Amino acid sequence: MADEGQLLQNEDSAIYKAMDQICTRRRIMLSGTPLQNNLIEYLTMVDFINPGQLGTKTLFIRNFVNVLEKGQMVDATELEVRAMKRRSVILHKILESTVQRFDSSVLAPFLPDKHEYMVCVKLSQLQIKLYRHFLEKYTKGGATQPTECKVESAGLLSDYRELSRMCNHPKALSSTALKRCNAKKRPDSKTGEKSKSEEDYDINLKKEQAGARLG
């Protein structure tokens, strides 16, 4: 029995080849998103459970994939839409003995009611200072001097991750963004020492963290 069956993806994937080597009389596969990406993944799952039921990959593409995809296009003709619906029904009937389809209603009698809560927590003074300092000195949009130590990133998403760590705990930033920053910033070629901005930041960070612990 295997969960997340869509991860097989195709017959050439490493996980498919490894799973296919397991000898067993029966195979059961679970998936909450059998059509997560494309119909070839669906064929791969069916073929893993019941080889050959949908024919070869070439036949499946010609008989189902092409027809179903054309009918879903925005500019599909009425004839293509009707063909898509017919093939969808045919595919459903072929797989009736192999695929069991259930929605979340089957679990409703066994699961308690779901309650979600949102708890808002204010940033500490240390986190606020670090947050502002990071935006001003270490983001692509904030650093103004070419000599400033600036975290190499892809931009917004990378900065978002670093700031999320900071909001979780100040120490998380000092062990990720700060270390990466210092690693990218080469020591002075003459003195082998850190730049003045790096020293100031290290000292201020340590002082603020010490103050936070004492507080």
Q: In this structure, are residues 133 and 149 in contact, taking their beta carbons and an 8 Å threshold?
A: no
**CB neighbour class for 130 (10 Å; exposed up to 12, middle 13-18, buried from 19):** buried
Residues 188-196 have a mean pLDDT of 50
In the block, tokens 């879903």 appear at 72
In this model, does residue 166 exceed pLDDT 60? yes
Query: Higher-confidence residue: 77 or 130?
Result: 77
Q: What is the pLDDT of residue 200?
A: 54
**How far is C-alpha 91 from the geometric centre of its chain's CA atoms?**
31
Whether this prediction's pTM lies above 0.75 is answered by no
| SS3 at position 2 | strand
Predicted confidence at residue 116, as pLDDT, reads: 93
| pLDDT of 69 above 70 | yes
Instruction: Report H helices in 77-154.
Output: 78-94, 125-137
Both tokens of 196, joined, read 């003045």
Mean pLDDT along residues 164-190: 64
Better-predicted residue by pLDDT, 137 or 195: 137
pLDDT-derived band at 151, boundaries 50, 70, 90: very low
Q: What pLDDT does residue 89 have?
A: 92
pLDDT at 80: 92
99 or 173: which leads in pLDDT: 99
Could you give the 3-state DSSP secondary structure of residue 185? coil
- pLDDT given for residue 95 in this prediction: 84
Do residues 137 and 159 lie in contact, with contact meaning Cβ atoms separated by under 8 Å?
A: no
**What domains sit in the chain, N to C, each tagged with a CATH number?**
5-107 (3.40.50.10810), 125-214 (no CATH)
Distance CA 175, CA 184 (A): 14
pLDDT in tens, 33-59: 777 668 888 888 888 888 888 888 888
